[in-house]
């Protein structure tokens, strides 16, 4: 502000610089001077028509990417009229049953120019098929589609628990989507390897870092088994980390993540393409850090967490809304969350210099320590897999190792809150104001559920039942042959207006269902 001239980056001559291997300081040499992070706000509720309106509002307010939140039935591959869907339709995301819903979801939005992220895992291949079918119907060919499919099924078994098929069968679908997008969708990120949910489920920062990167290694090895070289898959993996409230530890975590990924891709997996070495990531502020007490103060928490993501060099960012410990965000709360990013981007000048904390004795030591802790965990996973990270991740799930560690860490943290050893403002200290008036929150009524059921009924009525039957039959047949890539059969089924539930049921018939053994 005072006009002091700033260099794009600082450091002694022999220092490591951003844009150079191993990228501790960032994947681009001039970082946000050249391109700001993408302000990608996660949204979805009610019917596709409701969410389409929120998407347009986000674009009007200056959001630069879309991110779709699906409701629980969709995430578990159930139709809205499934008995298990009762009460959940459109509640914590948008309800998608068929191509008709995807068409309304993206109505008036040019899929050739705005990138779209879809947060879905077990039915990820089904949703990708619906998305491709919709884009092609609207005149955008698949090679022009840019965006990300979360498609990170390993962390579902480890942390978020939205699974359908057993782990090994799920990994076949991940393999198919990786192969399909590598061949036909060059601008698409096939997997968003996600630590966010691992952290939200209670892990420490180091566990989030290590479990996530180990899962990333597993996907590289999985693609390798399908004949894809590391340089065909790694550039299309993106990452997704949490920005929790421990400010410096988070920044160190992102820096360590880039360095570890670069080293493992180059040295362990033999990647030659520098894009394979570069870990690009999305960040979301920590939902679990939000308090239901004095919800307005969550704006401050979110701002601090978002700043950690930016100082850590994130490529895109979602900021949580102040009311999310109470309900899905209201439009106003979501706008304030986006404004928080805009203040960081346009007012604070933190974007002028890449990795401004690089060279700090504290940050560098913390980065090294994060890397050391992660390597200890990698060694354990590698041992579980007898030399294979892919096998180690799957066995770690089957043996409840990841789940147990996350639950232990969550319990330890909770005890420290209960004992008062850690302070949470408004929860165990500084309680004045807790009894003030309640904040108005977004109401999702059962009306949305009724509307969606009517929409689904119309689709079932209008479509050609014989065409649907043939498409589903083909899907079952091809699913029984593990060598076949299922994407073509899924796109065919999507175009016939087969529903998400019908496609998933066909796959369950072949793959079976996963049941987690309950453990405390």
Q: Is the CB of 163 or the CB of 240 nearer to other proteins?
A: 163
Q: Is the CB of 333 or the CB of 363 nearer to other proteins?
A: 333
H-assigned helices in 432-518: 446-462, 465-479, 487-495, 500-511
The nearest distance, CB 427 to other proteins, in angstroms, is: 4
Q: E-strand spans in 352-498? A: none
H-assigned helices in 76-229: 99-105, 124-137, 154-155, 167-184, 196-200, 205-225
The nearest distance, CB 415 to other proteins, in angstroms, is: 8
Q: Is the CB of 67 or the CB of 294 nearer to other proteins?
A: 294
Spatial distance between the Cα atoms of 507 and 164, rounded to a whole number of angstroms: 10
- Enumerate helices (H) and strands (E) in the chain, giving the number of each: 20, 9
Q: Is the CB of 365 or the CB of 412 nearer to other proteins?
A: 412
Could you give the 3-state DSSP secondary structure of residue 69? strand
The nearest distance, CB 184 to other proteins, in angstroms, is: 31
The nearest distance, CB 372 to other proteins, in angstroms, is: 27
Pair 94, 70: CB distance under 8 Å: yes
The nearest distance, CB 195 to other proteins, in angstroms, is: 15
The nearest distance, CB 171 to other proteins, in angstroms, is: 19
What is the dihedral angle through the alpha carbons of 119, 123, 125, 129, rounded to the nearest 10 degrees?
-90
Could you give the 3-state DSSP secondary structure of residue 468? helix
Instruction: Give contact residues for other proteins (rule: CB under 8 A).
Output: 72-73, 75-76, 78, 84-88, 91-92, 156, 160-163, 200-202, 288, 290-293, 325-328, 406-407, 410-411, 414, 417-418, 424, 426-428, 438, 441, 444, 446, 515-520
Q: Is the CB of 399 or the CB of 516 nearer to other proteins?
A: 516
Q: Is the CB of 113 or the CB of 419 nearer to other proteins?
A: 419
Q: Is the CB of 155 or the CB of 495 nearer to other proteins?
A: 155
The nearest distance, CB 241 to other proteins, in angstroms, is: 18
CA 51 to chain centre: 18
The CA-CA-CA angle for residues 266, 268, 272, to 5°, reads 30
Structure tokens at 91: 């509640």
Length of the chain, please?
520
Pair 277, 283: CB distance under 8 Å: no
């Amino acid at each position: 502000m005072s006009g002091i001239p700033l260099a794009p980056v600082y450091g002694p001559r022999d220092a490591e610089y951003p844009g150079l291997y191993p990228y501790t300081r960032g994947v681009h040499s001039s970082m946000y001077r050249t391109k700001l992070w993408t302000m990608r706000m996660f949204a979805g509720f009610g019917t596709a028509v409701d969410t389409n309106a929120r998407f347009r509002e986000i674009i009007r307010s200056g959001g630069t990417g879309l991110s779709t939140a699906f409701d629980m039935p969709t995430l578990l591959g159930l139709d809205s009229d499934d008995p298990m869907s009762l009460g959940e339709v459109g509640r914590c995301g948008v309800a998608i049953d068929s191509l008709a819903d995807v068409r309304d979801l993206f109505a008036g939005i040019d899929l050739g120019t705005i990138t779209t992220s879809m947060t879905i895992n077990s039915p990820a291949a089904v949703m990708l098929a619906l998305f491709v079918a919709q884009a092609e119907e609207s005149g955008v060919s698949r090679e022009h589609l840019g965006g990300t499919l979360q498609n990170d099924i390993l962390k579902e078994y480890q942390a978020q628990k939205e699974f359908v098929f057993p782990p090994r069968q799920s990994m076949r679908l991940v393999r198919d989507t990786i192969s399909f997008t590598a061949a036909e969708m060059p601008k698409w990120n096939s997997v968003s390897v996600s630590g966010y949910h691992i952290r939200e489920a209670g892990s420490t920062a180091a566990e989030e870092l290590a479990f996530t990167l180990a899962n990333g290694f597993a996907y590289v090895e999985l693609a390798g088994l399908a004949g894809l070289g590391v340089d065909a898959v790694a550039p299309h993996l993106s990452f997704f980390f949490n920005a929790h409230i421990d400010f410096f530890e988070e920044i160190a975590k992102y820096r360590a993540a880039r360095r570890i990924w670069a080293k493992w891709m180059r040295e362990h997996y033999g990647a030659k393409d520098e894009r394979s070495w570069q870990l690009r990531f999305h960040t979301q502020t920590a939902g679990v850090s939000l308090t239901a007490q004095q919800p307005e103060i969550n704006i401050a928490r979110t701002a601090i967490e978002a700043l950690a993501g930016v100082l850590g060099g994130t490529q895109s960012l979602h900021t949580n809304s102040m009311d999310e410990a109470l309900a899905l965000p209201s439009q106003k709360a979501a706008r304030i969350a986006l404004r928080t990013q805009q203040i960081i981007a346009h007012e604070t000048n933190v974007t002028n210099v890449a990795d401004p904390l690089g060279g700090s004795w504290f940050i560098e030591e913390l980065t090294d320590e994060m890397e050391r802790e992660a390597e200890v965990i990698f060694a354990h996973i590698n041992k579980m897999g007898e030399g294979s990270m892919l096998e180690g991740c799957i066995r770690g799930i089957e043996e409840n190792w990841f789940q147990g560690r996350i639950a232990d860490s969550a319990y330890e943290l909770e005890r420290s809150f209960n004992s008062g050893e850690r302070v949470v403002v408004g929860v165990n200290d500084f309680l004045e104001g807790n009894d003030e008036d309640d904040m108005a929150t977004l109401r999702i009524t059962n009306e949305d559920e009724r509307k969606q059921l009517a929409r689904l009924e119309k689709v079932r009525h209008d479509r050609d039942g014989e065409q649907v039957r043939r498409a589903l039959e083909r899907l079952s047949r091809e699913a029984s042959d593990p060598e076949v890539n299922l994407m073509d059969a899924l796109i065919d089924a999507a175009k016939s207006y087969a529903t998400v539930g019908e496609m998933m049921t066909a796959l369950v018939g072949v793959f079976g269902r996963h049941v987690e053994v309950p453990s405390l």
